[in-house]
Structure 1
Amino acid sequence: PPGCPAHSMGAGPGGLRRYYGPEAENDPAGLYAKLRAEHGSVAPVLLHGDVPAWLVLGHSENLHLTRTPSQFSRDSRRWRALQDGSVAPDHPLAPIFTWQPVCAFADGDAHERLRGAVTDSMERIDTRGVRRHVNRFSNRLVNDFCEKGDAELVSQFAEHLPMMVVCAVFGMPEEYNDRMVQAARDMIRGTQTAVESNAYVVAALTRLVERRRAAPEEDLAGWLVSHPAGLTDVEVAEHLRLILVAAYESTANLIANVLRMVLTDPRFRARLSGGHMTVPEAVEQTLWDEPPFTAVFGRWAVGDTELGGQQIKAGDALLVGIAAANTDPAVRPDLTAGMEGNRAHLAFSGGPH
């Protein structure tokens, strides 16, 4: 009932459920079920600071959201809460929504130009070289704890391996350290130190761009600096930040989730050891059940529109509900059934972004 402690933990002003705090963090699946029951495939929620937004729960609604930039833009400057001052520049989610001259906040021709530079540069990465990095750094990390006999695989392996590889691919292996790992984890989590962590990462990337502008090298930073699109130093640094966050956070989470599933779930362990499932299939199943990002913030309504039966106003913020879409009863009526061979999950979002 309203007024009891359990009720107030998950509900905020107007009775809207908070998409942060204990309920959202401890039982996200339960929260999605409640929101579906109360609102359908698109639900009003509150972000940090009780800022209103829409969480898109339905699979087809999320595809429409991500595939229709004419209705739902990635340009965060459209956010009405920013325009009226109800969201401050030091908001915990500022590192995620603060507009930057990068492809993630652009649509149309501007997106194609910037994304083209990123795609062209990433296509020059030697995948065999990446595999060598993965093998070498994996051995180093395992050697650090193998004599002890036990390990905390998230903090001692999953969180470090992707950062070691990313720093090598970027051309800044000297920047890899515990502080870079923790800053990259912290900057997108809506914490009180997120803005400070973001500044640490940006400073490291800015130093890298300055070095590559002075002396080009054959690495991702060097290729972005010299790309014909003519990116400015700020654009290069911010795109490196975008790639770092997307590559590092998603890979660290996916490694941890797959390890946990393979090592602790008897069902999957038996299927793997019996040869009924390969490791890539286990990864694919994890992308359905525990995607690296549960939601992506955000899209902003270009004008008044309708989505999932809800009236969306111009400037409203929307979240791509990846985990919720992956468990949409319309596409997965039986959550215990395996999804081998089905890659319709939204673990990597959809549309031009």
Structure 2
Amino acid sequence: MTTPDPTSPPEPVFPSAPAPPDGVVPAGSVPLDYQRFRDEPLELYRELRREHGPVVPILLDGKIPVWMVLGYREVVRVTTDPNRFARDSRRWHSWHLVPPDWELTTFVGYRPTMLFSEGADHRRRSEAICDGLASVDQFELRAQCERVADQLIDTFAGSGRADLVAEYASQIPLRVVTRLYGLDDAESAALQDDSFHLTGSEAPVALQKMQTRMEALIKRVRENPDQVSVAAHLVSHPAGLTDDEIINDLLGSIYAVQQPTSDLIGNALRLMLTDERFAITLSGGRRSVGQALNEVLWEDTPVPFWIGRWAAEDTMLGGQRIRKGDCLMLGLAAANADPDVRPDFHSGAGGNQAHMAFSHGKHGCPPAAREIAEVIATAAIEVLLDRLPDVTLSVPPDDLDWRVTLMMRGTAALPVQFTPAHLH
């Protein structure tokens, strides 16, 4: 494979792999009901599982065939067998059915990042990024989270009103993570602004700006090797990563952390503000933030589906014949809702952490990244409740909407009111 020019963002690769002789659409495929997926996903999963089993042939946008893996055990099998269920999307035989403006293009079009690598290359790059993330000092991380949270709360504390999604949850993860990578506050703010334009006609320019900022960071790190940051750790890692590999993997991790962690914060705040189990009691206590986060990771996971895996050979899964080149979507939320594993939180099962919210296996979210996401979310919520202890919704709970796509599910807005507070 030709090494991409590091001076410009790599374009996604859309191969024209030949389709199987007998076509690409499995018999019995059903169009995905997007309205039900948005409004009643658990009912939809139950119905699909009842009619088709744990692996369902689905048509996205009416014509793009994928297998939706709904069963918990089946998701585990797919994610723990990378030789049979591979990650490189260039294996897909259905590229000819994908329109150029498809909403999942960002997640499916091959790019030279760790996310699409396989075998020895993936082991080398994932070891480096995992070591880099694991090098983050947990006390420094918590302090950075608290500093960012306090700065954001200061912008609206005196008004007595806020939208905790737009003004708070969506602002925190990228600010924290990019500082850990080695960017200063101004650079972090600029990169965050770029990230808000990664869809639509502005996407190419925004991606180019992000690429340029990361190139400057790596150049600075190589010129000042004594600095302490995730980027510095990657530059000096014995895996011998190239600048292009580091830049692509850092950008890939930024995409992976920003929206899911923002939605984790927003969804957990929504739960705590609408469920009486998390209300403040007469003694001043409430169920823990950790319990709320764990319940959200099970029941309102920010990433309901992940695309995907591509069959490297013909095989069977969940009673279905999977052909070489078939695409599989991991039903992370559906697996969490599998009746064989779903915990009952109302009966005190909140300690069960075997959810699929971070996926699973070698291509799942690395343990260090999970810890960072949970520290960010925990600190964000705890600082907010400490600063604004009487915060309540300013609209009825039924008026809250979800922002739903195939790959993301988050609270669209969280309007709240509270007693105006002093600046920190």
Question: Are the aligned partners of 1:94 and 1:195 in contact in 2 as well (CA < 8 Å)?
Answer: no
Q: Deviations over 1:126-169 (max 9, x none)?
A: 22111111111111100100111011001111000111101211
Distance (Å, rounded) in 1 between the aligned partners of 2:280 and 2:334: 28
Whether 1:346 and 2:356 are equivalent positions in the alignment is: yes
Question: Are the aligned partners of 2:306 and 2:331 in contact in 1 as well (CA < 8 Å)?
Answer: yes
Aligned with 2:166: secondary structure?
helix
Which structure 2 residues correspond to residues 124-163 of structure 1 after superposition, within 5 A? 124-163=135-174
Question: Are the aligned partners of 1:102 and 1:238 in contact in 2 as well (CA < 8 Å)?
Answer: yes
Distance (Å, rounded) in 2 between the aligned partners of 1:272 and 1:326: 34
Distance (Å, rounded) in 2 between the aligned partners of 1:175 and 1:49: 42
- Name whichever of 205-214 and 110-119 sits farther off: 205-214
Counterpart in 2 of 1:165? Answer: 176
- Name whichever of 38-47 and 113-122 sits farther off: 38-47
In structure 2, the CA distance between the partners of 1:238 and 1:261, relative to structure 1 (3 Å rule), is: same
2:260 to 231, 250, 257: 250
Q: Which amino acid in structure 1 is aligned with residue 289 of structure 2?
A: V
In structure 2, the CA distance between the partners of 1:306 and 1:96, relative to structure 1 (3 Å rule), is: same
In structure 2, the CA distance between the partners of 1:270 and 1:43, relative to structure 1 (3 Å rule), is: farther
Distance (Å, rounded) in 2 between the aligned partners of 1:127 and 1:313: 45
The alpha carbon displacement at 1:270 in A equals 6.0
Whether 1:277 and 2:291 are equivalent positions in the alignment is: no
The alpha carbon displacement at 1:240 in A equals 0.2
- Name whichever of 87-96 and 288-297 sits farther off: 87-96
Question: Are the aligned partners of 1:209 and 1:233 in contact in 2 as well (CA < 8 Å)?
Answer: yes
Q: Which amino acid in structure 2 is aligned with residue 70 of structure 1?
A: N
Which structure 2 residues correspond to residues 211-290 of structure 1 after superposition, within 5 A? 211-216=220-225, 217-269=227-279, 277-290=287-300
Counterpart in 2 of 1:111? Answer: 122
Q: Which runs of 5+ in 1 are unaligned?
A: 1-12
Distance (Å, rounded) in 2 between the aligned partners of 1:194 and 1:67: 37
Counterpart in 1 of 2:187? Answer: 175
Counterpart in 1 of 2:333? Answer: 323
In structure 2, the CA distance between the partners of 1:335 and 1:115, relative to structure 1 (3 Å rule), is: same
1:308 to 299, 314, 318: 318
Q: Which amino acid in structure 2 is aligned with residue 233 of structure 1?
A: D
Structure with the higher helix share, 1 or 2: 1
The alpha carbon displacement at 1:201 in A equals 3.5
Q: Which amino acid in structure 1 is aligned with residue 243 of structure 2?
A: D
CA-atom RMSD, angstroms? 2.7
Counterpart in 2 of 1:44? Answer: 57
- Name whichever of 132-141 and 107-116 sits farther off: 107-116
Whether 1:66 and 2:79 are equivalent positions in the alignment is: yes
In structure 2, the CA distance between the partners of 1:349 and 1:17, relative to structure 1 (3 Å rule), is: same
Question: Are the aligned partners of 1:53 and 1:318 in contact in 2 as well (CA < 8 Å)?
Answer: yes
In structure 2, the CA distance between the partners of 1:185 and 1:28, relative to structure 1 (3 Å rule), is: farther
Question: Are the aligned partners of 2:29 and 2:57 in contact in 1 as well (CA < 8 Å)?
Answer: no
Aligned with 1:44: secondary structure?
strand
Whether 1:76 and 2:89 are equivalent positions in the alignment is: yes
Aligned with 1:45: secondary structure?
strand
TM-score by length of 1: 0.85
